[in-house]
Amino acid sequence: MSKYLLNKFLFTVDRDPDLVERYRTDPVGTVQWWEAGEANRILNCISQEQSTWLRFEEAERAALAAHDYPKLFELGAHPFLTLTLFIAMFERDYPEPLGFQKDYAARLAHFAQPYPDIAT
Amino acid sequence: MATVCAVIASTHHPFYYRASTATGGARPPFADEWVAKIEKFRETLTRARPDVLVMVGSDHFHQLWLDNMPQFLVGKAPVYDANFYNEEREFGLPRLLLNGHEDLSAHVLRNGLDAGFDLAFSNELRIDHSITCPIITLRPEADLPIVPIYTNIFAPPLPQPKRFVELGQAIRHIIAAWPEDLRVAVIGTGHLSLELGGPRQFGEHGPDPHFDRRAVDWIATGALESCLSEVTLDSLHAPGNATHGFMDFMLMMGVAGENAKADYVDTLDLFHTMEAYFTWYPTGGVA
């Protein structure tokens, strides 16, 4: 499990307006591009000092590439990161205020407590 | 010596700014009542005539990240830029610029470390809505210098609830021992029951109204012993998956003191979460 890397993807995409749009329109390509070139970047270090070992597991890569936020919840991605980014991408598609947020809750309705562990 | 002129604990609802400034058909039906409550709450700070604000909040994965996550962090900078792109995007929050009070930051850091709290520090901190929401609600002029204190209620493993209370108690003593003749208000924001990114989010009320009633009673009466006997890192999952933010309320109960009855208590039952507002005047009045 690489919950940290899932969170790192959500975190770094969410804070970049261009990446938010790119992930919305091309999730497969964005995940592939990000894992190849961004996953090992230490955010506070220069590029020559990047990590060498970070990669997604198949289920994680597939969940991100499918915009499958219930699966991300199941995998233990941080719920705040997932929610914030997915609101940015999909709230606009719902005519009613909070329509996406309520649909999001409904799609997670099968989860009972305790929820998946989010500790990294 | 410094005077702790007010201790204020509040929820921080990022929707307030947009709701309170919306007009016409965009103005939600609950906005007028919410604004009226906030204006009354604001008066409790104004009346205390603070010179400096010590502000307790929690970064929401904005500047602080999992590659280097502090548990408790004190800002020590002359100026703080505030609010982030995703807070503008989702909540319509404005960017703010707040002055810091470096001398008080240094005093809190030195004395906090000496009291056994291994506080992290930041000399360049961009603060987020956990601190800007109470600026908007309580001091919209944004004209007072601040000392930001961040806690980790967000990225497990978290400190124990007791540690939040102890830090609050220490902050109270540390400020009271500051040799400057200034009036310091301590303002902290957290959550009651709250669910974010889970199946109980954005309901008609907060996810656990029973917990909310218990929590408001604990805070309003300063019932630290009862609160600490029931609240654990595990128990806080049950009321909602973001309820660990309640530990910032517990920190503020530590600042206010054991069995300190709040001088002002108000709540507002909104969709998604309950708002709660508390003010203590430690000197027994605001004269």
Structure confidence by residue, pLDDT tens digits, A88-106: 999 999 999 899 999 999 9
**DSSP bridge partners of B269:** B274
Residue B221 within a domain: yes
Residue A53 within a domain: yes
Residue A114 within a domain: no
SS3 for B146?
A: strand
Residue B232 within a domain: yes
Q: Report the first-to-last Cα separation within chain B, whole angstroms.
A: 16
The Cα–Cα gap between B8 and B66 comes to: 30
- What residues of B are in contact with residue A4 (Cβ under 8 Å)? 66
Query: Once rounded to an integer, what is the mean pLDDT over residues A28-57?
Result: 97
| pLDDT at residue B271, rounded to an integer | 87
SS3 for A50?
A: coil
- What residues of A are in contact with residue B92 (Cβ under 8 Å)? none
Q: Write down the ipTM of this complex.
A: 0.96
Residues 6 or more apart whose Cβ sits within 8 Å of residue B144: B50, B51, B52, B53, B99
Count of domains forming chain A: 1
Summarize pLDDT for A26-41 with one digit per residue, the tens.
Answer: 999 999 999 999 999 9
Question: Are B66 and A7 inside 8 Å of each other by CB?
Answer: yes
Residue pair B266/A104 in contact by the 8 Å Cβ criterion: no
What is the C-alpha R_g of chain B?
17
Count of domains forming chain B: 1
Residue B287 within a domain: no
Q: Which element (helix H / strand E) includes B264?
A: strand B264-269
* B284 C-beta neighbours (distance < 10 Å), count: 7
A104 touches chain B (CB under 8 A): yes
- What residues of A are in contact with residue B89 (Cβ under 8 Å)? 17, 88
Summarize pLDDT for B136-147 with one digit per residue, the tens.
Answer: 999 999 999 999
Residue B22 within a domain: yes
Q: Report the residue of B241, B271, B272, B273 to disrupt the A interface, i.e. the one with the largest count of A CBs within 10 Å.
A: B241
DSSP B191-256: -SS--SSSTTTT-SS-S-HHHHHHHHHHHHHT-HHHHHHH--TTGGGTT-TTGGGHHHHHHHHHHH
Residue among A4, A17, A87 whose CB faces B90 most closely: A87
Residues 6 or more apart whose Cβ sits within 8 Å of residue A92: none
B287, pLDDT greater than 70: no
Query: Once rounded to an integer, what is the mean pLDDT over residues B54-71?
Result: 97
The Cα–Cα gap between B238 and B86 comes to: 28
Tokens representing residue B34 in the block: 């919410």
Residue A116 within a domain: no
Residue pair B93/B13 in contact by the 8 Å Cβ criterion: no
Summarize pLDDT for B30-46 with one digit per residue, the tens.
Answer: 999 999 999 999 999 99
What phi-psi label fits residue B115: left (phi over 0), alpha (psi between -120 and 50 degrees) or beta?
Answer: alpha
Residue B84 within a domain: yes
Percent of chain B having pLDDT more than 90?
Answer: 98
Residue A80 within a domain: yes
What is the C-alpha R_g of chain A?
15
| pLDDT at residue A75, rounded to an integer | 98
Residue among A42, A81, A88 whose CB faces B67 most closely: A42
Nearest residue to A84 (alpha-carbon basis) of A72, A66, A96: A72
Task: Count how many residues are written for chain A.
Answer: 120
A–B interface: beta-carbon pairs under 8 A: 76
Q: Report the residue of B62, B66, B211 to disrupt the A interface, i.e. the one with the largest count of A CBs within 10 Å.
A: B66
A54 touches chain B (CB under 8 A): no
B224, pLDDT greater than 60: yes
Residue-range definition of the domain harbouring residue B204: 3-280
Residue B286 within a domain: no
Residue A39 within a domain: yes
pLDDT band at A1 (very low <50, low <70, confident <90, very high): low
Residue-range definition of the domain harbouring residue A100: 3-107
| pLDDT at residue B284, rounded to an integer | 79
Burial of residue B245 (CB within 10 Å: 0-12, 13-18, 19+) is: buried
A90 touches chain B (CB under 8 A): no
Query: Once rounded to an integer, what is the mean pLDDT over residues B93-104?
Result: 98
What separation in angstroms does the CA of A80 have from each of A46, A91, B73, B85, B208?
Answer: 28, 15, 21, 16, 19
The Cα–Cα gap between B261 and B43 comes to: 19
Query: Once rounded to an integer, what is the mean pLDDT over residues A75-91?
Result: 98
